[in-house]
Amino acid sequence: MDCNCVSDLLLPPVPALWTPGFAFPDWAYKPESSPGSRQIQLWHFILELLQKEEYQGVIAWQGDYGEFVIKDPDEVARLWGIRKCKPHMNYDKLSRALRYYYNKRILHKTKGKRFTYKFNFSKVVLVNYPILDMANSPFFLAQNHFNGGSATPDCSPEAIQSLFPRLPDTARGTSLFDRGSAAPGPEGDKLRLDTFPFLSSGTPCYSKPPSLLGPYPRNPPFDYPWGFNPYLPGAFSLNNCPKLPPGSLYPSQFYPNPLQSSLSQLPHPFSSLLPPGEAGGGERGQTGGTNGTAGGQPARLCLPPYPGSLTMGRTDIGNGAALGERERVEANPPGTGLSLGLGAVSLGAGTGTGQQSPSERRGGVKQDPESDSDLEITDLSDCSSENENEHEFSIGKESGLVNRPQLMLDGKKGSLLPPISSLPPPVSPHPLKSLMPITPPPPSLPSSLSPSMALHDRHREAETLKMIHS
DNA sequence: ACCGGAAACG
DNA sequence: CGTTTCCGGT
């Protein structure tokens, strides 16, 4: 039964290209402990699908920032099964794995909305971000609304720094790909490639989410080999199942259709030709059928929904615990705003979804029994999606902050967010250029362009987003 | 649908 | 460790 899929091994190269500046936490990947394995993790995979336009009919950002809907559970499960070489994967199992993230606070279920989950981006931290700039930036200033109301955020560089324990240095390369990659090479560590695609990108998707950082150019450690769009389907590791025989990316069981396989082998650009759903396997256009990539239209990176806001919090960053924040706010009463991880700000307004979710009711109190990490405080805030939708708001929208970057802290754990670039789809279509506090405004990029555009010259330090690990 | 415990697996 | 698998319960 082995399906020869090695899928992840290939990752190294690819991801690196995606977004140079962002990274997920190391923990997101398999620690070194695992020998070679940096197996892809489910949430990572989900993010991957989310950023591809081709899969919008299957899974897409919707609702609050970080919130996504699995439109076609079976398909997502199938794709996941392919990736993991688990032919018998199904939504029930996949969802179990997703549930497993609740305690880790990576994801939360949006109650009341079927197949809807939300990433807890509050764990995302921007690393290597120009601190000073940040401090000055509105983001920071804005921060703390909620927190105990304290008005003072500690934005001092030091403070910030402390948040990011491992910044730039190469300190250990714990990053994702760097190490594993075969390239022990020289620079492997320089930037951790840990990058995550998702947050980056430059162009907003139409309605979808732009990237967190989107627009601004970060200096790429390496440039994208243009001509090849990392965001294209072929670029993703999704398609790679290394061990598979050359004609097929996935085990045959998954790929009934020969055509696909062949396409997949083509150079990136071509790979886009593959029908989206297909990648998975069949064409099930079913869902909404948004598959549109067909014509070879490049897939744009879609990021999380409302990037417009940034949230920064203090949070647990590296040490959430360390910070002592351990206690979470539990009840995040409605209205408090906390939760949002990222979304906090985003104004949910726009979102279309926000509206729809009325369903929430629960008080959400759950205690968490075991949290894995210490922080686990099950934060209700995040957890309950409830608030998110509605409350997010407060800040964001009204003030028009929308455009401005805001940072929010959560009360206790804060979260940070990176500067995001774009705005929430619903609200306004155009990216907020104004967002970028830090960096100079990016030139307006056509959104449809490939990421390369985004890169531009500007190089700042490498900003890295990381999820914080608690 | 969704939840979460438990056991097993690589 | 991060699921995968199974499953009883809601």
Asked, for residue A246, whether it belongs to a domain, the answer is no
pLDDT of res. A65: 87
Query: Does the CB of A97 sit below 7 A from strand C?
Result: yes
Between the CA of residue A293 and those of A49, A56, A57, A228, what are the distances in Å? 14, 10, 11, 16
Interval A201-214: pLDDT, tens? 222 233 344 333 32
Assigned token pair, A313: 């919090």
Report the alpha-carbon distance of residue A470 to residue A459 in Å, rounded.
29
Report the alpha-carbon distance of residue A12 to residue A194 in Å, rounded.
9
Query: Does the CB of A206 sit below 7 A from strand C?
Result: no
pLDDT of res. A38: 66
Q: Round and report the angstrom distance from CA (A77) to C1' (B7).
A: 22
Q: By CB neighbour count within 10 A (0-12 exposed, 13-18 middle, 19+ buried), where does A221 fall?
A: middle
pLDDT of res. A64: 86
pLDDT of res. A122: 65
Q: Round and report the angstrom distance from CA (A399) to C1' (C1).
A: 44
Total domain count for chain A?
1
Report the alpha-carbon distance of residue A22 to residue A119 in Å, rounded.
16
Residues with CB under 7 A from strand B: A 34, 73, 92, 95-96, 99, 102, 109, 111, 113-116, 366, 369-370
- Nucleotide nearest A28, from its CA to each C1': C2
Which residues 271-330 on A are within 7 A of strand C at the CB atom?
none
User: What stretch of H or E contains A398?
Assistant: helix A396-399
Query: Does the CB of A86 sit below 7 A from strand C?
Result: yes
Asked, for residue A89, whether it belongs to a domain, the answer is yes
Contact A211, A201 (CB under 8 A): yes
Name the residue with tokens 């396409």.
A263
- Nucleotide nearest A44, from its CA to each C1': C2
Query: Does the CB of A88 sit below 7 A from strand C?
Result: yes
Q: Round and report the angstrom distance from CA (A75) to C1' (B3).
A: 22
Residues of chain A predicted below pLDDT 50: 1-2, 4, 6-36, 124-302, 305-470
Asked, for residue A91, whether it belongs to a domain, the answer is yes
Query: For residue A138, what are the contacts with CB-CB under 8 A and spacing of at least 6?
Result: A404, A405, A406, A437
Query: Does the CB of A91 sit below 7 A from strand C?
Result: no
Spell A154-165 as b/e; 16+ CB within 10 A means b: bbeeeebebbbe
Residue nearest to nucleotide C5 (CA to C1'): A93
Can you tell me whether residue A61 is helix, strand or coil?
strand
Q: Round and report the angstrom distance from CA (A112) to C1' (C10).
A: 15
pLDDT of res. A121: 76
Report the alpha-carbon distance of residue A454 to residue A450 in Å, rounded.
7
Listed residue (A56, A19, A136) closest to A436, CA to CA: A136
- The strand pair at A59-61 and A67-70 is best described as antiparallel
A107-109 β-sheet, strand order? A59-61, A67-70, A116-119, A107-109
pLDDT of res. A39: 77
Name the residue with tokens 């209205």.
A335
Can you tell me whether residue A432 is helix, strand or coil?
coil
Query: Does the CB of A80 sit below 7 A from strand C?
Result: yes
Query: Does the CB of A127 sit below 7 A from strand C?
Result: no
Q: Round and report the angstrom distance from CA (A52) to C1' (C6).
A: 33
Listed residue (A349, A330, A362) closest to A427, CA to CA: A349
Residue A226 neighbours by CB distance under 10 Å: 12
Report the alpha-carbon distance of residue A325 to residue A181 in Å, rounded.
36
Report the alpha-carbon distance of residue A467 to residue A121 in Å, rounded.
7
- Predicted TM-score of the model (pTM): 0.45
pLDDT of res. A123: 57
Q: Domain with A119 in it: what CATH number?
A: 1.10.10.10
- Nucleotide nearest A370, from its CA to each C1': B4
Backbone angles phi, psi at A116, to 5 degrees: -115, 130
Range of the domain at A84: 39-131
Q: Alpha-carbon dihedral of residues A204, A210, A214, A215, nearest 10 degrees?
A: 50
Report the alpha-carbon distance of residue A94 to residue A77 in Å, rounded.
6
Helix pair A91-104, A73-84: axis angle to 10 deg:
80
Q: Report chain B positions within 7 A of protein CB atoms.
A: 1-6, 10
Contact A305, A209 (CB under 8 A): yes
Asked, for residue A437, whether it belongs to a domain, the answer is no
Q: Round and report the angstrom distance from CA (A104) to C1' (B4).
A: 14
Q: Report chain C positions within 7 A of protein CB atoms.
A: 1-7
